Amino acid sequence: MKRLVCMVVMFGPVALMGQKKEDILAIQRDVAILQDQVKQLQKSQDERMAALQSMMQQTVDASNRVATGLTAMQRDVDQKLNDQQTKLVAPVATVGTKVDQMADDFRSVATNVAELVRRMSALDAKLSDISNAIRTLSAPPSAPAPQSSVGPNGQITTQVPGGGGASAETSYNNAYRDYSSGKNELALQEFAEYVKNFPETADAPNAQFYIGYIYFNGGANFADAAKAFDDVVMRWPENPKSGDAMYYKAVSLQKDGQRTAAVKGYKDFIAKYPHHDKVDQAHKNLRTLGMDSPSASKRRN
């Protein structure tokens, strides 16, 4: 027993020392393995960092190239815009100069036209004075009211007590001659006097019609023209000028802006004179006024 104890005492420390040595070796091996793993991890991390840096460098290079390209493009665009502006400035300046010149020319023309209008107005006034003077000189002295009589051939003659006679035919021919020669103002007065003095003659509705036609051709008295044409029909029903008078009354109302009255006038004219040579034009005028009116081909069908 004592011997066993002594053996334990002698060999126990040796066994413990051997066990510690193996543990130390194991730890050293683990440390070595851990160091290898750390080195591998460090190497992998370095490689990844290098790859990332390379990618970043490539990105920076690409960005620089794009920036360089944009700068060059901007320079080209600026240059082209400058060139285009330079090319446009000169023509625009030329056009502006020409417009200014045209404006000056127009002002000069306007001034000349105004002066021409003034002179024409003065000339019209002088002509009117001359016409009035001629009518005053040619007018017979005041006399009692004329008396009309019918001759053996049906000719109506106006007799003035104490003086000669002026026939209806002569008065009408004089008025028509002045109308044909363009003396509208004089003809208008003569036709009006004829209608007043010879209302029962066959030429009275003709004279009244020409009164309306003179107003109509004047271009500014369409209301007076419509009234004159209406008198042709109202005072002398079914005379040779009735159809023309009804048509031109409607046209005068249309030109005067009396749309509703014009439409009624055209419809009355078409209804009363369906075969008149101006019926087709009346239908066209109705369509111009927005009314449904058949064309000539549809009426024939």
Cα(218)–Cα(15) distance, integer angstroms? 149
**Assigned fold of 146-300:** 1.25.40
Considering only 46-50, 122-126, 240-244, which range has the smallest mean pLDDT?
Answer: 122-126
pLDDT by residue (tens digit) across 73-114? 888 888 888 888 777 766 666 766 776 777 677 676 766 766
Check: pTM over 0.75? Answer yes or no. Answer: no
Cα(212)–Cα(235) distance, integer angstroms? 14
pLDDT by residue (tens digit) across 163-175? 334 589 999 999 9
Reported confidence tier of residue 249, pLDDT bands at 50, 70, 90: very high
DSSP string, 75-143: HHHHHHHHHHHHHHHHHHHHHHHHHHHHHHHHHHHHHHHHHHHHHHHHHHHHHHHHHHHHHHHHSPPP-
Q: What is the pLDDT of residue 131?
A: 55
